Structure 1
């Protein structure tokens, strides 16, 4: 029998040549402060045929490089200090955290962490933030080549689905994942995970739950159990999600994202103290993730634990000091904790650091003014606090992008000083914050809890007026043939006036028109059915209700959707 070419010397040589040809097309960014190690890595890559190589010496230069262009592979040293104990800057894990959060690397980019780090918590943190792979040093050129080939093969299999996702074609991506799992069974679990995540992105949590349960029926993988808990929690079934997450944490105490979700579920159930304890347990195991530290600080503030909040936010400020994406709100929260402890000197030091290191943007100006106002309030100087609050509102008006939570805090402080107009302006802005924007009811509740139902009524009238204007804009878009644009404007109106019958009727009608003309859209259809039920509850005899029900049934029949 003739020898298989792949196992013969000639076949091996041919495979190596083919791999080198493929590798020549790869672009690689090496992130390492040590010039000798960068040179060694470049030599290893050259041996495998990789020649399109650039280097960065720290997290900041890496972020700049990735902002200019995309790379197929990032090889990142974990310890970016260059071996000096007192070096300043981010480590590789913090860099990866920023890259993922700010979407500076594509989902299909290959990120390989290189580390000789023996500290258990740091390795856990790095693994938790899902690099494609991580390699413990020392390693050989062959080991590096093998890891890269494995990662490239996996990326090649998943890339068609990723490309459909990038083109905003999630339905086709789901279909492609189903077909690819059949033709490439080696990556079936990867495709199932993508399918479930796509269903989540479409708010189809019931379908995501089904995918996760199917995976778990075949293999008890941790990500599927966590995904199942997420899908259950997203459907509001906290009584199911919490014990499931507790079981996950007990069985796998290194699955850190389970702690985060468990704490969120506990907090939504109203148990801030238990949520704080859960996050404290997570930080004790994996102490280097800035966003978890920040969340712990927020929960500690909510629970009235000023000492715990100070500890967490001080670490956040320290660890993010050299990030390209520092958030001045962390300084405000640290000041808030110190004020809560009655430590004006410590708060003043934090404010000086904020002014020195983050000056020059409206957001930083707003945060400084809020912080100084907190300090004046502690000293009982109301007039000075009002002056700073006016500066904060001016900075927000000038474009200072504050989170909804920070806006709520600013509005509450304004209300405490009878700055009614400023509070209303700040809360109206909090309704337009994108994905994390407050709902109209959440904004109104700020005034109700402050004992100002008159301001809640006034704001409600403003929101209804804005919704009426948006209905007119939607009509104009529809008349010009921009059906999708009309629906997006109607959804904005619904956000402003969620219980307004006229708006709800317009939203359902607009969505059904888009579906009939442009194809079935599950999230929009689900929204329409939800709005129909709201209309039925508010006015079961509404003259448009029967017609809209009939249109919904017609749309389902057209696309073969089961009722």
Structure 2
């Protein structure tokens, strides 16, 4: 294939010294070039060839790139910033990271002709390894890649812990490297801060970002501090910091999402909606943002915006891992709220067609249809359909998430099956008794069905029942009645298998039992299973991370390596 010379204003192909194949790191690496201009792809490929790179793949669009990233383990990704159709390289990078399509040691570099992109990237918490402004020489590309690969090598010890989701180990390694004060000290501070926020250790995160800002006013540290303050509910200071970052650069998209979160926490869905609409105008391709825009629009009573955002969500998610039956249920709910029963019926029909042979989708369609029938003046038909859904619920419940179950709760209330709705809500509350966002979502469901006061009472009673049970088990443990404490926690786990805090408290009680009374095989077996369960469902839980360390220490002490996690 002929390889034309790149335009002189884009890339200068000045050869760099080529090492022999045996000692040349470029010869061993697999590259991906993402650019929608074929001439630019070829020009970059030719430059890489002068470094000794000979394994190169190409992608023209974001969807092609994600498909290739899912298929191959790339060592280096060079991605144009402007990918067309509202996609940019930074969004692609963040999407690939969140979907675990990039191995930790991969280098991801953005290439752009826009100088403003530097400011966008510098503010991002989840940022690529660097950027390169067009036009650039081969030597400049080589220098940037060499530095990025050196940085990746420096992070390899942390990468191993991150791959195993052992965040406290990763933070400890960050501390070691920060203490070394080498050229990547700021990078390790940035990683430590983001990991602290990830596991919910907001005080550590706040301390890290304040430490950085005392040295230099870096946008990513401002952003991180604002997130820490939001988690501590210091909303005025957090909002001020987010707005300062946006004043400097209105394309730091995370700020809009977090500002919306603040407004929503303050029961202000109107401003939350406006902030997310601003963000959607700048970048309309983020599924989660469109989904959130729909949610706050429903709370604000703007059913038209909710419908538009959900339709966009469904279109964007159609061929991705974000595809969800819940979006169709939410769209039908928005349509029914606007009095558009025919549109809701079309949504239900589309759901069944798009997810044919899917039991859950068929069941959700029945739930939607029951609400359509009730609202269309056919209450007996609505009751018949909801009774059919109730009958199938037990078999399908292991496949349902809480968002789907709450749609079911709404339908049960609308069709007069309050008994089923209350029973299901009680279980959801007990399994999420310390999850403020989930409890607020449940409160919103009760507001939607006109039972706000009932909802507050049901939530409060069931939260308190879990707190009382937990306190009783803790009291038994503190009184030295460890057998009884472990038994009570195990009983609670059996009744509330999705309550992570109860499960972790059970582990804590078992560890205390073994420390005090010696090895107990069946108890340790349960602790192992509980930790394994939490690892799969909530690995970033800070209590899990701490208990995992304590559990491993105990296993090593007793030499029972067969129970190691």
TM score, norm. by length of structure 1: 0.70
For residue 410 of structure 2, the aligned residue among 409, 412, 416 is 412
CA distance 1:329–1:92, change in 2 (3 Å): farther
The DSSP-based 3-state class of the residue aligned with 2:77 is strand
Q: Is the 8 A contact 1:511 1:524 kept in 2?
A: no
1: CA distance, partners of 2:68 / 2:434:
28
For residue 177 of structure 2, the aligned residue among 172, 176, 180 is 180
For residue 313 of structure 1, the aligned residue among 310, 315, 322 is 310
CA distance 1:495–1:330, change in 2 (3 Å): same
CA distance 1:17–1:73, change in 2 (3 Å): same
The offset of 1:257, in angstroms, is 1.1
Q: Which residue of 2 aligns with 1:71?
A: 74
Gaps of 5+ in 2: 1-14, 519-523, 525-540, 548-565
The offset of 1:152, in angstroms, is 1.4
User: Would you say how many aligned residue pairs link Structure 1 and Structure 2?
Assistant: 497
Q: Is the 8 A contact 2:202 2:228 kept in 1?
A: yes
Does residue 256 of structure 2 align to residue 253 of structure 1? no
Q: Which residue of 1 aligns with 2:29?
A: 26
The offset of 1:264, in angstroms, is 0.7
Q: Is the 8 A contact 2:213 2:222 kept in 1?
A: yes
For residue 372 of structure 1, the aligned residue among 369, 373, 376 is 369
For the aligned residues, what is the CA RMSD? 5.3
For residue 301 of structure 2, the aligned residue among 292, 301, 304 is 304
Q: Is the 8 A contact 1:335 1:351 kept in 2?
A: yes
2: CA distance, partners of 1:125 / 1:353:
39
Q: Which residue of 2 aligns with 1:195?
A: 192
Aligned 1:38-437 pairs, distance under 5 A:
41-55=44-58, 62-76=65-79, 95-113=92-110, 130-135=127-132, 141-390=138-387, 394=392, 397-398=395-396, 401-420=399-418, 422-424=420-422, 426-427=424-425, 428=427
Q: Which residue of 2 aligns with 1:7?
A: none
Q: Is the 8 A contact 1:301 1:309 kept in 2?
A: yes
The offset of 1:380, in angstroms, is 2.4
The DSSP-based 3-state class of the residue aligned with 1:112 is strand
Q: Is the 8 A contact 2:196 2:205 kept in 1?
A: yes
The DSSP-based 3-state class of the residue aligned with 2:200 is coil
2: CA distance, partners of 1:153 / 1:105:
17
CA distance 1:72–1:278, change in 2 (3 Å): same
Q: What CA deviation, in whole Å up to 9, does each residue of 1:123-164 have, x standing for no partner?
A: 969996734345566766545444432321221222222223
Q: What CA deviation, in whole Å up to 9, does each residue of 1:58-102 have, x standing for no partner?
A: 555554544455322234456768xxx9xxx98866654542333
The offset of 1:223, in angstroms, is 1.1
2: CA distance, partners of 1:294 / 1:136:
34
Q: Is the 8 A contact 1:38 1:55 kept in 2?
A: yes
The DSSP-based 3-state class of the residue aligned with 1:380 is coil
The DSSP-based 3-state class of the residue aligned with 2:108 is strand
2: CA distance, partners of 1:36 / 1:488:
64
1: CA distance, partners of 2:109 / 2:32:
10
1: CA distance, partners of 2:202 / 2:148:
30
Q: What CA deviation, in whole Å up to 9, does each residue of 1:176-204 have, x standing for no partner?
A: 22232343532221111111223223432
2: CA distance, partners of 1:259 / 1:424:
36
Q: Is the 8 A contact 1:233 1:241 kept in 2?
A: yes
TM score, norm. by length of structure 2: 0.70
The DSSP-based 3-state class of the residue aligned with 2:24 is helix
1: CA distance, partners of 2:421 / 2:336:
22
The offset of 1:108, in angstroms, is 4.3
Q: Is the 8 A contact 1:414 1:422 kept in 2?
A: yes
CA distance 1:226–1:457, change in 2 (3 Å): closer
Q: Which residue of 1 aligns with 2:559?
A: none
The DSSP-based 3-state class of the residue aligned with 1:47 is helix
The DSSP-based 3-state class of the residue aligned with 1:74 is strand
Structure 1 range deviating more: 358-367 or 31-40: 31-40
1: CA distance, partners of 2:197 / 2:492:
20
